[in-house]
Amino acid sequence: MADSTPSQSSMARRSSSWPLGLLTLILAPVAAAMLLYQLDPYDPAPVPIHEFSQQPMVVPKLNPRMLQGSEMIGVGKLLSPEDIAYHPDSHLIYTGCDDGWVKRITLNDSMVQNWAFTGGRPLGVALGRHGQLVVADAEKGLLEVTADGMVKTLTDEAEGLKFKLTDGVDVAVDGMIYFTDASYKYGLKEHIQDILEVVVSPDQNSVIVCESVMRRCLKYHIQGERKGSVDKFIDNLPGPPDNILYDGEEHYWIALPMGNSLAWDLALKYPWIRKVVAIMERYKVRPHIEKNGGVLAVDLEGKPTAYYYDPSLSEVTSGVKIGNYLYCGSIIKPYMIRLDLHQHAARATM
- Mean pLDDT (whole number) for 92-97: 98
Q: What is the mean pLDDT of the chain?
A: 87
Give the sign of the dihedral formed by CA 274, CA 58, CA 200, CA 227: negative
How far, in Å, are 30, 38, 42, 78, 105 from residue 149 at the CA level? 51, 45, 37, 18, 14
pLDDT of residue 38: 64
pLDDT of residue 8: 57
CB-based contact 295:316 (threshold 8 Å) = yes
pLDDT band at 144 (very low <50, low <70, confident <90, very high): very high
CB-based contact 116:103 (threshold 8 Å) = no
Tens digits of per-residue pLDDT, 239-263? 999 999 999 999 999 999 999 988 8
pLDDT at 3 over 90: no
pLDDT at 121 over 60: yes
pLDDT at 283 over 70: no
- Mean pLDDT (whole number) for 181-193: 60
Q: Which domains does the chain have, with CATH numbers?
A: 40-348 (2.120.10.30)
Q: Whole-prediction pTM value?
A: 0.85
pLDDT of residue 290: 82
pLDDT of residue 64: 97
